[in-house]
Amino acid sequence: MSITVQGRQAATTAAPAPPGGRSRGPARVRWAAVAFVAPAWLYVAGFYLYPLASSIRMGFQDYTVSSFYTGVAPYVGWDNYSKVLHDGHFGETVLNTVLFTAGSLAFQFAIGLALAVFFSRRFPLGGPLRSLLLVPWLLPLVVSGTAWRWILDTDSGVLNHVLLNVHLIAHPVPWLASTHDSLTAVTLVNIWVGIPFNMVILYGGLQSIPGELYEAASLDGAGGWQRFRHITLPLLRPVTAVVLTLGLIYTVKVFDVIMILTQGGPAGSSQTLTTFAYNLSFQQLEFGRGAAVGNLLIGVAVVFAVVYLRATREQRQAGR
């Protein structure tokens, strides 16, 4: 018995310790994790962080066409921002951006919520119809914008043709060529594009509301509007915050729809901050001022991104 114990002790003391006193396993796991994460970080650094830093730096420089060849772009401090803020078109552009964003968000959310409530009830062909309503969201914006440009054409557009036949208008409406109607036209198209996103997210939120609450409210004599007001809206509040915040971030930076339909015209009547930055950079070749406008948009997006993150955090905490 003593021989066996002594043999075990000898085997234990004879086992060599790994170099450095630690196993190589955890180190290999760490390096493997770095190898998996490194491509993603390189992508983020190359396609997000570097352009962002370049845009911020360019906003403080007098960057012209010659700067691309010479590499010389003197720093001018806040001069680009001052020129942008004192530009004669800046006030109208900000107002157009606010009206475009507010109108798009209000109608996208209202129509999306109405459709979500409608499709929350089971009926024949409900699934296929819900899938068809996703088409505006799935189509490339170039395709959607081109189709709507034809629909809204003054002379041969389908919309004017229908309105004339039902005698709602006496003369064709220049939707895209009028300074009074162009902003309304691009807003309507953007509403059409964004409705499916609102519907899908709100529909998912409605599915998470227990049906027993509606049954109990019905037994207590609550009508449809009372159930919607006191059950649906309060329980949808976290989802509503997420939808509106993401919608605002997306709508503020909308560029494709406006450029395809009106290019910000006529006479800047449908110009927003995104098209304003494009015009400054690629038409007037004032790259520093264009970067300054872009940085202002980034600042707005960051503010509402923080709001979105807080809303999602509160939603997760409420779900625990």
Domains and CATH numbers, the chain: 32-77 (no CATH), 83-319 (1.10.3720.10)
226 in Cβ contact with 108 (< 8 Å) = no
How many Cβ atoms from other residues are within 10 Å of residue 121's Cβ?
7
In this structure, of 41-50, 197-206, 220-229, 266-275, the range with the lowest mean pLDDT score is 220-229
What pLDDT score was predicted for residue 220?
A: 80
Coil, strand or helix at 61: strand
Question: Considering only CA atoms, which of 257, 282, 286 is closest in space to residue 271?
Answer: 257
Residue 239 has pLDDT above 80, yes or no: yes
What distances in angstroms separate CA 192 from CA 181, 255, 267, one per listed residue?
17, 15, 25
Question: Considering only CA atoms, which of 301, 266, 263, 253 is closest in space to residue 104?
Answer: 253
Mean pLDDT, rounded, for 2-8:
47
The rounded distance, in Å, linking the Cα atoms of 288 and 77 is: 11
What pLDDT score was predicted for residue 222?
A: 81
Number of residues in the chain: 320
Mean pLDDT, rounded, for 235-257:
88
In this structure, of 5-14, 33-42, 86-95, 108-117, the range with the lowest mean pLDDT score is 5-14
Mean pLDDT, rounded, for 113-134:
84
Question: Considering only CA atoms, which of 89, 81, 99, 98 is closest in space to residue 294?
Answer: 81
Residue 313 has pLDDT above 50, yes or no: yes
Residue 4 has pLDDT above 70, yes or no: no
How many Cβ atoms from other residues are within 10 Å of residue 33's Cβ?
10
What pLDDT score was predicted for residue 308?
A: 76
Mean pLDDT of the chain: 85
Query: Phi then psi for 76, rounded to 5 degrees?
Result: -120, 10
More confident residue, 41 or 312: 41
- Confidence label for 184 from pLDDT (cuts 50, 70 and 90): very high
116 in Cβ contact with 206 (< 8 Å) = yes
What distances in angstroms separate CA 280 from CA 84, 96, 156, 276, one per listed residue?
10, 17, 33, 6
What pLDDT score was predicted for residue 25?
A: 64
Mean pLDDT, rounded, for 196-222:
87
DSSP-derived secondary structure letter, 153: -
What pLDDT score was predicted for residue 18?
A: 52
The rounded distance, in Å, linking the Cα atoms of 287 and 6 is: 82
Which amino acid belongs to residue 251?
T
